[in-house]
Amino acid sequence: MTQSAAQEATHVRAPQARVIQPPTLLEKFQNNRNALGWAFMLPATVLLVLFLTYPLGLGTWLGFTDAKIGRSGEWIGLENFSFLVGDKVTQLALFNTLFYTAVASVAKFGLGLYLALLLNKRLPFQSFFRAVVLLPWIVPTALSAIAFWWIFDAQFSIISWALMKMGLIDKYIDFLGDPWNARISTIVANVWRGIPFVAISLLAGLQTISPSYYEASAIDGATPWQQFRHITLPLLTPIIAVVMTFSVLFTFTDFQLIYVLTRGGPLNATHLMATLAFQRAISGGALAEGAAIATLMVPFLLAAIMFSYFGLQRRAWQQGSDK
């Protein structure tokens, strides 16, 4: 091989230098987790700002003005709130809301937990019964309220008719005309609608508990009540906290059921904070007063959220963490 041929072969075999291009701006963006996270959150953030934050801020601001329908109003500070604190109807609506929320939430939790424990067992037609339980939840609120309005009607109530046929009463019960009867009737309707949500949510939590815990406790001689108290209830606490928070929020802000059934009557006996705010702001035209009533609901809703937060702290204990 001649010298020129050797030089040519060496030149062919020599590796070429690779030029490394700097990453483009798009590549930097795609490789940045924080930037991608903010980009994915941007659409949801825009929707929340437009349809949640802005209406909430506007409603809060209106509560500090004397705005009415057709008039923007001027800043008056705490006058609306000072008036509402001494307003008898507002005080009654607050009592109704707290009573309605407390009784209905406790009843829904107790019955929902019992139903969840029942559906968690091996029963004939188990899937069918689980599907049937959801029916009250998926029925539109207005439609179920109309059905309960017929059930509680003073002249055509099926309950009064059945009780009269059995000879237990001698006249029809005025379910929605008496203040306390109306309160109990609306609570019954709300419990009927809310049990499926509680039951299915708790049932999902029960499905995550390992059967080995129950088998080990049974070997140690634990009774069913001891298993429920020391295994089921502690492991179900985080789910209970979330479910009860949503149940309280839904119940405290209930509007459709009350508005269709009683519209706050009789004698404001079933007025909740939400229905009273609607009546004062829309029907009465006092936008500022209605907004102030709605703003007064916020501290109670925040308290319910804090209940969920402290309940979720049990997850650290479940995972064996001391934090």
Can you give the CATH number for the domain in which 197 is found?
1.10.3720.10
The answer to whether 159 and 184 are in contact (CB under 8 A) is no
Distances in Å between the Cα of 283 and the Cα atoms of 228, 275, 289, 319 are 50, 11, 12, 52
Looking at the structure of the chain, the number of domains it has is 1
311 in a structural domain: yes
173 in a structural domain: yes
Burial of 319 (0-12, 13-18, 19+ CB in 10 A): exposed
299 in a structural domain: yes
Domain holding 263, by residue range, is 87-318
Predicted confidence at residue 13, as pLDDT, reads 54
Predicted confidence at residue 313, as pLDDT, reads 64
43 in a structural domain: no
Does residue 55 have a cis bond before it (omega within 30 degrees)?
no
pLDDT, one tens digit for every residue, the chain (323 residues): 555 555 555 555 555 556 677 777 777 777 888 888 888 888 988 888 888 888 888 889 999 999 998 888 889 989 999 999 999 999 999 999 999 999 999 999 999 999 999 988 887 877 788 888 888 888 888 889 999 999 998 888 899 999 998 988 888 899 999 999 999 999 999 999 999 999 999 999 999 898 899 889 989 888 989 999 989 988 888 888 889 889 999 999 999 999 999 999 899 999 999 999 999 999 899 999 999 999 999 988 888 888 777 766 655 545 545 54
218 in a structural domain: yes
Burial of 236 (0-12, 13-18, 19+ CB in 10 A): buried
186 in a structural domain: yes
1 in a structural domain: no
User: Hey, how many other C-beta atoms are within 10 angstroms of the C-beta on 205?
Assistant: 20
Alpha-carbon Rg of the chain, whole angstroms?
Answer: 31
24 in a structural domain: no
